[in-house]
Amino acid sequence: MKIFISATLRSFFNREHEIDVKGKTVGELLENIIKEYPDSKNAFYDETGERRGFIKLFVDGEDRTGRDYAVYSLSEKSKVLLLPVIAGGAPSLAQTEALVSDERRKEVELDNTEIERFNKHLLLREIGVKGQKRIKAAKVVVVGAGALGSAVIQYLAAAGVGTIKVIDSSAVALEDLQSQVLHSLRDVKRPKSASARDSIRNINRSIEVIAENEDISADNASELIEDFDLVVDCSDNFKTRYTLNDACILNGIPVVFGAIYQFEGQVSILGHNGGPCLRCVYPSPPPAGLVPSCAEGGTISPLAGIVGSIQANEALKLIMGIGEHLSGKLLTVDTLYLNSSVLNVKRSCNCPLCGDTPTITEVETYDYEDFCGLKAKEDEVPVEGFTPEELAKKIDAGEPLKIIDVREPHERAILRFPGAVVIPIGQLVRRQKELDPNIDTVFLCKQGKRSILAINTLREAGYTGPMYNLKGGLDAMKDIVLANEGGWL
């Protein structure tokens, strides 16, 4: 049968987006996948042999990664999708309760200018005057004013959402302008939250805009979302996503989740009317470095607009209580191969946050590395590394070194390291004989995270040669001058 592979996992499958593998059960299917693609074992299972929680296996749109997943029977016509979190059980209802109550809706009025401005909404039977007044009365938090946030913020503002809070601690960079259409060249180096505030005011000056230039944390998450109707998660890192998820669930505020990677996107509604939360869908994020981040893997410009527009659409439907929505469902979109699916996801009775016997009762400050199972054990040898300056001196001095580049091919097309041997992280174990245990081996990637995982992977496989990480990765080495190259790296 055909198995469809999400982009974040394709490095373990020779870059294929679909493969043909036989199997009568899910367990047999996974065994055969690993036999045919040995590198995929590290993606599916951790060093103890436990199946990783960040990968979901859907069969014909249903999540089959529960406790009895291995014995679930398959047919030749089964459609199988391997889907990791890139960072939903109540059924979808045709009519749902609006997030904005009738009392609040009746407290607002539409003036003549607004009637003209929102004429196309007023003509829609599902929206009309009542729906538009709910939109005006709504209070929405958008976390992240980057690529996804650009589309979400602009469409919520254009639709007339009365109060929009934008939370983002970063500044606009030149490379952001490819997909973050909320900002312009004049905004480079400005806080994204401030740039977003100005853009909203340019769209509709009657909107109340609150710009928060800070990170989401356990200390401030509940306070930042307090008294708001809805949160739209447009963040770009797992720590923020899980902290925000916890705060929203504990405060009874639904989340419109969105994520993108390369050509793929995901959208869901979390924590709404007894539906699942992020911890139900993905109990844990992937270990840092196992799959490239959006910053490392890139995204095509329109993808954020597509996914962000769907998020904004879901947010408006929830505000008004109209149509079907993605609570209990996960929408996946692959714009490269024109595939899309709506997958059913359920609340987990064992979820520590929203399950039958929750153990998380407040937003907690947690160690991200410990949460992901990355914390070094007491008997584990720490990963040593070189700074860019130290590595440059060793290269210039002609010291014997072997440099291994574990990045993906498209990343190396942008920036190559002189003399580096290319071994993708999924191939390291079976290609370890190419390393010389008598000399220092330096591993590098874009940001210095995947290279740490590479070193630990080889240690687990029994390699004993000296291994070092390039601290900060190639991002930290961009301005280093190598004498033997006659210029900058």
Reply yes or no on whether 294 is catalytic. yes
Cβ pair 167, 146 in contact under 8 A: no
Q: Which of these, 286, 262, 268, lies nearest to 409 by C-alpha position? A: 262
Query: In sequence order, what are the beta bridge partners of 343?
Result: 330
Sign of CA dihedral 442, 444, 450, 454: negative
Reply yes or no on whether 445 is catalytic. yes
Between β-strands 139-143 and 163-167, what pairing exists: parallel, antiparallel or unpaired?
A: parallel
Hunting for tokens 């869908």 — which residue is that? 281
Cβ pair 429, 456 in contact under 8 A: no
- In the set 234, 294, 354, 372, the catalytic residue is 294
* Distance, C-alpha 30 to centroid of its chain: 24
Cα separation values, 45 from 26, 41, 55, 238, 374, Å: 15, 6, 10, 20, 14
- In the set 280, 354, 372, 445, the catalytic residue is 445
* Contacts for 57-62: CB closer than 8 Å, 24+ residues apart: 57/26, 57/30, 57/81, 57/82, 57/83, 58/83, 58/341, 58/343, 59/26, 61/341, 61/342, 61/343, 61/344, 62/343, 62/344
Question: For 455-476, b where at least 16 C-beta lie within 10 A, e where not — what string?
Answer: bbbbeeeebeeebbbbbbbbeb
Active-site residues: which are they? 294, 445
